[in-house]
Structure 1
Amino acid sequence: MVETLLAVSRGMVALASRNLAALDTDVTLTQYRTLVLLAGGGPQRSAIVAKELGVAPSTLTRMCDRLARKSLVERFHRHPDRRSIWLALTPAGRDLVGTVMRARRRELQELVTAAGLTAEPATLTLLDAFVQACGELPDDQWWRNWETCADPVDDAEPMRPVRNGGSFR
């Protein structure tokens, strides 16, 4: 099971990488994963995103500097706690993720059709359990969240971009 899942994960990473490259987005896989987390989970505290990605907060800050310069994410504070930094997708970030996800879906559909694959209910149950164990949302729920992930946040206070040691804070 583990060996097969490793092989599947390599194929999925290759597929995501191809879809990003085809769009000429200048977004790395890690940056894209950040966008996907924000698309599925909505606005989140930067500390939570850093933990989910397994990176140091300073690494996430630099990554978000790049994503903010590309107008794909925005940083803000939520009233009344101005100490925490929150991250959200911009409409352009949401659109990029949606475009890549739809391209991945088309390519997966083509692969499944070309290989003549069908899935028994037990196989789908197994795959759904794996998705859940990974902490991912089922596809239909993810897309429902994606639709609203770039909506304005009611209590958001924009952060002023102040140059400070190479990062915007």
Structure 2
Amino acid sequence: MMKWKQLLAASGLMLLGFVGSAASFADSKAEIDASVSRAMKQFYTLSPKNKELAGKAAGMLVFPRITKAGAGIAGEYGEGVLLVKDKTVGYYSITSGSIGLTLGISDRSEVIMFMTKAALDKFTNSHGWSIGGDAGVAVVSAGAGGTYNTKTLQEPILGFVFGEKGLIGDLSLEGSKITKIEK
């Protein structure tokens, strides 16, 4: 029992250090914009249909790099932009935390497409938006290079995860909180 308490305490300290240092790796607008551009090029390369689908979206959140780390207690952080008609209209952060059987560290990219104006408006009018709490996101099961079925395309919000690097025991969008940041 004592070893579990020690592991939990060490995990908590690691998470506090990770979350506390999130602000220290906050990027400038120019750095975020350049990362978003690279991520979108990669996203469009994964499947020719991704660009066509993006053209139909009312808006897209693009997080070029989300880092998740944990040992029992985990946290994640990333910064990105909201694109509307290929123009940046705001800068956002994504965060989450969890307790459970999580071990490792990883990076990934995410694109969240608002396929309807109503879904985009609900997001932009919120003060902190959480996936699963404020809205359900249909994660394209085969990843960013996968094929879409007609049922998936009817969902108001689509999520794509790609470019995974590292090793971690879980990978989901559920519970992530997205907040507007001032740059």
Q: Greater strand share, 1 or 2?
A: 2
Q: TM-score, normalised by structure 2?
A: 0.28
Which fold has the larger relative contact order, with Cα–Cα distance below 8 Å and residues 6 or more apart in sequence? 1
Q: Greater helix share, 1 or 2?
A: 1
